[in-house]
Structure 1
């Protein structure tokens, strides 16, 4: 999110914990497109 903001995006909703155990947040890029950023700890690939 910090990189998006530094590139000119507007943070719509800061990343917060979700009910399913991950994190999610939203930003709007300079062209007006909305983006969702998510992280799910259960989807980490096995080594």
Structure 2
């Protein structure tokens, strides 16, 4: 993960979540926590 390589700390390993998406958490070098999510159902039609 690029965030960890840049000095962040992994808080929760990315994983599948019940509503069909994917989520994980990391803390930046200052201790601020970030939530990363992805849900393919929210992609716009192209």
Mark the runs of 5 or more structure 1 residues left unpaired by the alignment: none
Query: Number of paired residues?
Result: 46
TM value normalised by structure 1: 0.92
CA RMSD of aligned residues (A): 0.5
Distance 1:45 1:8 in 2: 33
Mark the runs of 5 or more structure 2 residues left unpaired by the alignment: none
Write the deviation string for residues 2-47 of structure 1: whole angstroms up to 9, x where unpaired: 0101110000001100010100000000011000000001011111
Distance 1:5 1:44 in 2: 26
TM value normalised by structure 2: 0.94
